[in-house]
Amino acid sequence: MAKDFYETLGVPRDATTEAIKKAYRKLARKWHPDVNPGNREAEQRFKEISIAYEALGSEDKRKLYDEFGEEGLQAGFDPGKARQYREWQSSWQREREGRPEESFGRHENYEDLFGDLFGFAGGGGDRAFRDGRKSKGRDLEHEMAVDFLAALRGVETELVMEKTTPCPRCQGSGTEPGTKLIPCPTCKGSGRMDVAEGPLRFTQVCPQCGGHGRVGTPCGECGGAGQVPGRERIRVKIPPGVQEGARIRVAGKGEPGRNGGGPGDLYLRIRVNPHPLLTRKGDDLYLDVPVTVLEALGGGQARIPTVDGEVNVKIPPGSQNGQILRLKGKGAVNMKTKKRGDFMVRLSIVVPSSREEEAVEAARKLDSFYREDVRKGIRL
């Protein structure tokens, strides 16, 4: 049974966007795999938290989730046409169960519905589905959310797409298998019809036979449309270094073609989920690393997690709060040049929270080493 995303983040259904973001960051810090190395339960919890935030952190996705549940967040789900798609499925099923034996002319309403729903051009859908020429399928474009670290390292995953597919019964021909084809009564077998008279003669593709010149009994599965609503599982590979807003092409995974034409392509618009510790600027990565007062003054070494694993970083003596240490070539991959940016370690000096007199006295001794007023440059 699918988990409720609001319950996963521990927020009410009327929570504000800021409250959701705050809850996510708190839970992400607690359950992040870098904080819990080797803990599979923590890894699973972090995945659930990230998926929940992916849905509720976006105002548009949150509305879809509230109305459709997780179904509305699947790759291939078209927010603008989902209700039309469902209405078409219901209408298509009613028509099929009610009058499956009728001729091609009766099923022109399916073409109109497909034309409106999926964007096929042509008067009333006739040209879209009945033109005898090969036609490439329509390209599809959908948003896909990717975990921050998966975007840096690259990932291969599986999507479930809702889209029209060739009718399995007639293989997209629209004609009942095994039936005899006869000359089209509308165009007398020519495949075209006159649409104007006079010195200039114009013709168009016959709306009944689609330019083939011959017709048969419409397929009992698709009603002559040649396509049916369906789902497809697709393996996609996201390359290392992909950034927010990138557009990834998956060849041949768009809508199916017509009359022997090839399928369209699928384009994935990438949305990268935020990381609780890492940030990205261009191809450089930034990580705030806490250090003690002693490490800042006297120097030392710190074990730092990077995308490639942990490394030792030398902290120079006399380091200041906010000072950045650069690890060359440890950043994100540039998708065009294939070169990597740098990993920026930003030092954050942590003062002991103790109020014991001994600690305060040590701070007084340190205070005597300041050479000038630390706030002398603060002016408005």
Q: Which residue has the higher pLDDT, 219 or 298?
A: 298
DSSP 3-state of 233: strand
- What per-residue confidence (pLDDT) applies to 81? 59
Q: How big, in percent rounded to 5, are the helix, strand and coil portions of the chain?
A: 30, 25, 45
DSSP 3-state of 152: helix
Read off the amino acid at residue 40. R
- What per-residue confidence (pLDDT) applies to 215? 78
pLDDT over threshold 50, residue 105: no
- What per-residue confidence (pLDDT) applies to 133? 57
Residue 308: partners with Cβ closer than 8 Å, 6 or more residues away: 330
Q: Tokens representing 192?
A: 């075209």
- C-beta atoms surrounding 136 within 10 Å: 15
Percentage of the chain modeled with pLDDT above 70: 78
DSSP 3-state of 10: coil
Q: Which residue has the higher pLDDT, 253 or 340?
A: 340
CA pseudo-torsion sign 295, 299, 305, 309: negative
Q: Which of 73-82, 95-104, 181-190, 210-219 has the highest mean pLDDT?
A: 181-190
How far is it, in rounded angstroms, from Cα 303 to Cα 37?
Answer: 14
Lowest mean pLDDT, pick from 16-25, 66-75, 199-208? 199-208
pLDDT over threshold 60, residue 90: yes
- What per-residue confidence (pLDDT) applies to 95? 54
Read off the amino acid at residue 90. S
Overall fold of domain 278-367: HSP40/DNAj peptide-binding domain (2.60.260)
Topology alike, domains 103-180+216-272 and 278-367: yes
In this prediction, residues 249-276 reach a mean pLDDT of 86
- What per-residue confidence (pLDDT) applies to 343? 97
On whether the 5-73 domain is CATH 1.25.40.10, my answer is no
Question: Which candidate, 228, 229, 248, places its Cα nearest to that of 238?
Answer: 248
Which residues are registered as beta bridge partners of 245?
A: none
In this prediction, residues 297-314 reach a mean pLDDT of 94
| Domain coordinates in residue numbering, the chain | 5-73, 103-180+216-272, 278-367
CA dihedral (187, 189, 191, 192) in degrees, to 10, reads: -40
pLDDT over threshold 70, residue 5: yes
- Side-chain-side CA neighbours of 318 within 13 Å: the count stands at 2
In this prediction, residues 181-196 reach a mean pLDDT of 76
How far is it, in rounded angstroms, from Cα 134 to Cα 149?
Answer: 43
Read off the amino acid at residue 151. A
Distances in Å between the Cα of 256 and the Cα atoms of 150, 164, 290, 304 are 30, 7, 54, 49
Q: Are residues 302 and 326 in contact, defined by beta-carbon separation less than 8 angstroms?
A: no
How far is it, in rounded angstroms, from Cα 23 to Cα 11?
Answer: 7
How far is it, in rounded angstroms, from Cα 89 to Cα 3?
Answer: 28
Buried b (16+ CB within 10 A) or exposed e, 16-31: eeeebbebbbebbeeb
Q: What's the whole-model pTM score?
A: 0.56
pLDDT over threshold 90, residue 346: yes
> What mean pLDDT value characterizes the chain?
80
- Counting every residue written for the chain, the total comes to 380
Read off the amino acid at residue 198. G
Percentage of the chain modeled with pLDDT above 90: 31
Lowest mean pLDDT, pick from 31-45, 98-112, 232-246, 294-308? 98-112
Read off the amino acid at residue 192. R
The CATH number of the structural domain formed by 103-180+216-272 is: 2.60.260.20
Residue with tokens 């440059």: 377
pLDDT over threshold 60, residue 74: yes
Question: Which candidate, 328, 342, 156, 140, places its Cα nearest to that of 242?
Answer: 156
pLDDT digits (tens, 9 = 90+) for 26-65: 898 888 877 788 888 888 888 888 888 888 988 888 888 8
In this prediction, residues 322-333 reach a mean pLDDT of 96
pLDDT digits (tens, 9 = 90+) for 125-180: 333 334 455 678 888 888 888 999 999 999 998 888 777 777 888 877 777 888 88
Residue with tokens 């629209």: 174
Question: Which candidate, 309, 271, 304, places its Cα nearest to that of 286?
Answer: 304
DSSP 337-360: T--B--EEEEEEEE------HHHH
- What per-residue confidence (pLDDT) applies to 101? 40
